[in-house]
Amino acid sequence: MRVFAAATGLVAVFWSLSALAEGQPCYGVPALADSEVAPRLALVTPKGRTHFVKGSEQAGCPGAGAACAMGAFVVGGDAVITSITSGEYACATFTGPAPKAVSTSGFLPRTQLGAPLSQPSVNTAAAWAGAWHSGDEQTITIKPKGDGHIAIAGEATWGMHDPERVKRGGVNVGEIEAELSIADGVAAFAIDNDGSTKPIDLKPADNSDVCRVKLWRLGPYLVAADNMRCGGMNVTFTGVYRKAE
């Protein structure tokens, strides 16, 4: 199926992460880890359809063979987010327009991802404001609070697509809430066990259950990464979000 996005004015986002060995799976945006990430903007280069390809879940992938090809594809000017690389391929995620804001992840040829573009950091609260969606299980709402601060409220679930889990009340949930300032196009925070907002610490103790979140406002996207400690089992806010207009 076609993964749709209007070509005009869209950008691609690249993560400055080290290339990994051949034969990696692609899970989209990586969860927040000890290492720092640095997203950058670029345009997908013009061409016809460029199909996503599978990773190591399929033998011999990622690669150019028919067995690796996925149905979803992008075209020149579409916006993607890349993370790890595997040979000549980059793990990428595309999120379509809200309200559905469906995300598709897979590998794309690195030759089809243009050089990063330089643009000013987005630090104005108004540019962050809105209801942002990544699929139907992740929502982050941002409101300006004055003095450059923003109020963030998020809800995420895991298991809503499993009717049996829904029936037995087994859907796991998570919530985030914080008020903070934006710095260099990034909003980063930790939520302590008492619910208070604190500066983010990317290297907490191994047994720490503190929820840690980092957000970037880039082009048409809000990009989020957390440490998988912001809700019930498997709940995460990590993803690529599009704003509901």
For each of the chain's 245 residues, which pLDDT tens digit applies?
Answer: 333 333 333 444 444 444 444 567 888 888 887 555 566 666 688 888 889 999 998 999 999 999 999 999 998 988 888 787 888 988 888 999 988 999 999 998 988 887 655 677 889 999 999 999 999 999 999 999 988 799 999 999 998 888 888 888 889 999 999 999 999 899 999 998 788 888 887 666 666 788 999 999 888 889 999 999 999 999 999 999 999 87
Strand ranges (E), 38-148: 39-44, 50-53, 69-74, 81-86, 89-95, 103-109, 113-117, 130-133, 138-146
For residue 14, the model assigns a pLDDT of: 43
Give this prediction's pTM: 0.85
For residue 13, the model assigns a pLDDT of: 44
Which CATH number describes the domain made up of 125-243? 2.40.128
For residue 7, the model assigns a pLDDT of: 33
For residue 143, the model assigns a pLDDT of: 96
All CATH 2.40.128 domain ranges of the chain, comma separated, are 125-243
